[in-house]
Structures are given as structure tokens and as C-alpha cells.
Amino acid sequence: MPSPNARPEWAAAIWSGARSALLVQRHREDNTCAGALHTTPGTVAAFRTDAPYLTAPQHWPHHVQRHQSQRPQQGRLDHPHRIGTGRVGAQAIDPASSCLRPLIAEAARQGLRLAFTVRFARTSYLHPSGSRTGSPVIRTYVTQRADHTEERSYGSAQAGGHDAADFARRVDVVGGDVSAAVHQWLVETRRTNPDARILHLEVRTWRPR
């Protein structure tokens, strides 16, 4: 006998509400709205589950009640030691990687550190997974996938990461194309070949402790 609590429509309602709230939230007691549709154009870098990642502070209302955690009162790229993230996938890697540029520019302005994860066809890497030759200074994290692609991360917090300001200059040199800047760094450091194509790119920023 099916459980009376087996109600997929409830789950659908909750998740659709969470997705909708990413775009618009009405704060009646403050007579204002928040959400991605109420930001300055160009400041939305990415979404993750129920949180927008933005490249500029937002003066949205926030009310902390008893037993709630003390969260920051502004939506922003980062708060102390927290990671900000943006990502683009294969279908939009060429035009959409430029949307990561504001995230990197703001990270540079704030003196943050930066790491990135790239996905290539496994044969596009010049060195074996986890090889010290492939990553002589910056620790490499590797995820091998069933579709014969591989993700590798460069610039972990434990290893110190990249200087966001230096990477922002790289992005500016190639006209704002973040994937081109990442690819150029990988070629210069002899981790991939010039013809390799990035299939997925994720950029993470944080404030060093």
C-alpha cells in the first residue's frame, strides 16, 4: 500500500518555489523585492541550488530571528573565507565564459585568491592524472568520468591558489574570454596542447585567512 506521504507534487512545489525565489522575492514588510531580476544587469555570475552568485553587493533586507544563524545582510560575491563560484558548460563555453569576467574582476578588486576546474577529453592532458610533472607547484585534484573526459582542479585553497589580480590581467589581454585565459595558462605551463577544447569550466574565489 503506498504511503500517504508519497506526494511528488509537494516536492515539485517546494523546488519550483525555490527556483522562483532565485529570480524574485517579495518582502512585504519592507515594501521591496529581491532576487536576480532585481540586480544591476551583468552582476549575476551563476546560480547554485538556491543561491545566486553576484559580483556586487545588494542592499536586500535580511531579518535574523531567534535560533537562525547570523548570515550576512548583503548578497555579494563573497564574505570572509566563503567561496564564490561561476561555471559554464560545453554548449555555451565560447560566448558564456565572458560572464565569469565580472566575478574575476571583483575578486581582483578585493584581493581574493582563485582556483579553477577544467574538463577536457582525457587524451588532451599532456601528463598522467595527479602527476607532479603535470602540476609541479599547484596541487591537482582529478575526477575521471565515464565519457572519457577528465576534470582537473588547479589552485586549491590548501596550496594558496592563484592571485585573482594576475588572472584578471590575463583575462583582459584576451578580450574578456575567461576560457581562453585558462586555456592559455594551461598551454604555457605545459598541461595541455594548443588544440585542446575546454568542455567545462568552473572558477572559485575566496578570501585567504
DSSP string, 69-89: ----SSB-S--TTPPEEEEE-
pTM: 0.58
Query: What was the pLDDT predicted at 72?
Result: 33
Distance, in Å, from the CA atom of 21 to the CA atom of 104, rounded to the nearest integer, reads 26
Give the model's pLDDT for residue 134.
61
Cell of 138: 599547484
Torsion of CA 203, 204, 205, 208, to 10 degrees: -140
Residues 6+ apart with CB under 8 A from 161: 113, 114, 115, 155, 206, 208
Bridge partners (DSSP) of residue 31 are none
Q: How far apart are CA 43 and CA 54, in angstroms?
A: 5
Measured N-to-C along each axis, helices 164-173 and 101-109 cross at an angle, to the nearest 10 degrees, of 140
Per-residue pLDDT of the chain (209 residues; tens, 9 = 90+): 677 777 788 778 877 877 788 888 777 777 788 888 888 887 787 776 667 777 777 777 655 444 333 333 333 333 333 445 554 444 334 444 667 888 888 889 889 898 888 899 999 999 887 676 665 444 456 888 888 998 888 887 777 889 999 999 999 999 988 899 999 999 999 999 999 999 888 888 888 77
Q: At a CB cut-off of 8 Å and minimum separation 6, what does 193 contact?
A: 124, 126, 187
Residue 93 cell numbers, joined: 563555453
- C-beta of residue 53 within 8 angstroms of C-beta of residue 85: yes
Spatial contact of 158 and 140, defined as CB atoms under 8 Å apart: no
The whole-number pLDDT of residue 41 equals: 81
Task: Provide the β-strand partners of residue 201.
Answer: 88, 118
Q: What pLDDT, on the 0 to 100 scale, is given for residue 62?
A: 59
Residues 6+ apart with CB under 8 A from 9: none
